[in-house]
Copies of this chain bind each other. A is one copy, B any other.
Amino acid sequence: MADKKVEAITSRDEDFAQWYTDVVVKADLTGYTSVKGFMVLKPAGYAIWELIQSQLDKRFKETGVENVYMPLLIPEGLLQKEKDHVEGFAPEVAWVTHGGLSELQERLCVRPTSETLFCDFYQKDITSYRDLPKVYNQWCSVVRWEKETRPFLRSREFLWQEGHTAHATAEEAEERTIQMLNVYADFCENVLAMPVVKGQKTEKEKFAGAVSTYTIEALMHDGKALQSGTSHNFGDGFAKAYGVQYADKDNQLKYVHQTSWGVTTRLIGAIIMVHGDDNGLKLPPLVAPTQVMIVPIMQKKEGVIEKADELCERLSKVARVKVDKTDKSPGFKFAECEMRGIPIRVEVGPRDIENNECVLVRRDNGEKITVNMDNLEQEVSTLLETIQKDMLETARAHRDAHTYTAKNWDEFKDIVENKPGFIKAMWCGETECEDNIKAETGATTRCMPFEQEEISDVCVCCGKPAKKMVYFGRAY
């Protein structure tokens, strides 16, 4: 079995989709299940999610978020109260019709998202302005009955967090919506080493039931875009549908303003597709379950294993570290470390010990660095920071090199066909043009970025006066 893991994988530039599947399997991230369209997260995959979860949760809590847990199942009647929302989700939910041996009077859907449950709860829990704001979040799984599935990117069940907040004013809701988008963007850049474009979704692309949807969009190595997190401002639409009101200081009953925001295990797919290469996964140190693997060389020689254990003990104070003592060859172990994306490999053999040195090998760029053993903690600690920073810079350089500007329709079509990446272009604001662009090129509006530029004054598609600069791209 072990052999297969380091067999050569499909080349990334030859067949990106197959390369992706190979990495997922050979880095041991997901496993077999006979439940069609569902995913098993194996230890190596789930441990990445745990690191995402703990670091993101900490950032949430710093902004005042509190965690809660809502029911898994939603009665059909409750789902149906907000019209746009039920239209958006009803076609893709799983329905529970029997509990135990009896048929249910009202069927229940497995939550595809929990706006309706939070509204139902807030309707009872909020009575006065003193109860506001509510800034709640839950970590859970949701089910959406997708037809085509791919590990991490699209599956019938995925893990995520969903934040749901209620505020006294529209301004405060908008502020929270943007605040959480910024938390996501900062997390993606500084933890996942993945630069993102922040912006607003168009009417066509916004969430079912939202007034406005904001998004962070990342560019994968193959030039396709990945929506990596969204934050929605609901205004008082859900509050009106579910009767979520509060008595204000002036004793008037008013509707609350709500938001929701989420990221999913899809982020693991993004890590793979932004950073990985032909040797496998490349994990940014902050989300690497094992940050340092010590590989003893000529491990049967006296003192080698002992020295490796000693270094491991010392390094465990500054990093998540392991020693590979299996009876595989060093070359095999190296390849396995690379496949699994471990940021630093430490090689230590008899000659190194004699010289009081060891060799650090960076996964991100292959560089080998000989260091004095006495300073190992400091060297490794600094190198992990450097790798984290360099991976972001490499990803940013790739993203920038694959972001193009289209002034007119011919340029647009040429870029879509020949230069996979983001396309910045002007847009008139009409859904018809979005539809035409998608039909003719497969590119969709990714977002109207907060940082606008004036590329031209007419729509790239219809030539009418332009309203917004938009990022377009083919997307996952």
Contacts and interface: CB of A to CB of B under 8 A. Distances in A.
Nearest to A142: B72
Contacts of A71: 33, 35, 38-40, 157
A66 interface: yes
Interface in A118-148: 120-121, 124-125, 127-128, 130-131, 136, 140-141, 143, 145
A108 interface: yes
A67 interface: yes
B100 A93 contact: yes
B32 A124 contact: yes
A66 B94 CA distance: 30
A433 interface: no
A476 interface: no
Contacts of A78: 34-35
Contact of A35 (B35, B43, B117): B117
A38 to B, nearest CB: 4
Given A31-B125, A32-B121, A68 B95 contact: no
A319 interface: no
A220 to B, nearest CB: 24
Interface string A1-25: 1100000000000000000000000
A222 interface: no
A401 interface: no
Contact of A68 (B1, B40, B100): B40
A74 interface: yes
B98 A136 contact: no
Contacts of A140: 141
A263 interface: no
Nearest to A128: B1
B91 A101 contact: yes
A109 B45 CA distance: 25
B35 A50 contact: no
A94 B96 contact: yes
Nearest to A131: B1
A211 B69 CA distance: 34
B33 A46 contact: no
Contacts of A117: 33, 35
Interface residues of A, number: 58
A31 B121 contact: yes
A117 to B, nearest CB: 7
A208 interface: no
A68 to B, nearest CB: 5
Given A93-B100, A100-B145, A121-B33, A38 B69 contact: no
Contacts of A372: none
Interface string A26-68: 0000011111001111110011011000000000000000111
A157 B120 CA distance: 18
Contact of A40 (B32, B69, B100, B101): B69
Contacts of A356: none
Given A1-B127, A2-B130, A108-B35, A69 B94 contact: no
Contact of A100 (B67, B73, B91, B131): B91
A373 interface: no
A97 interface: yes
A159 B33 contact: no
A369 interface: no
A98 B95 contact: yes
Contact of A41 (B69, B73, B96): B69
Contacts of A145: 99-100
A70 interface: yes
A96 B157 CA distance: 14
From A38, A75, A99, name the one whose CB has the most chain B CB atoms within 10 angstroms: A99
A82 interface: no
B42 A68 contact: yes
21 contacts: A31-B124, A32-B120, A32-B125, A33-B70, A33-B71, A33-B120, A33-B121, A34-B78, A35-B73, A40-B68, A41-B68, A43-B66, A46-B68, A49-B69, A73-B157, A93-B100, A94-B99, A94-B100, A95-B97, A97-B97, A99-B156
Given A91-B100, A94-B98, 9 more contacts: A2-B130, A31-B125, A35-B78, A43-B68, A46-B66, A47-B67, A72-B110, A92-B100, A93-B100
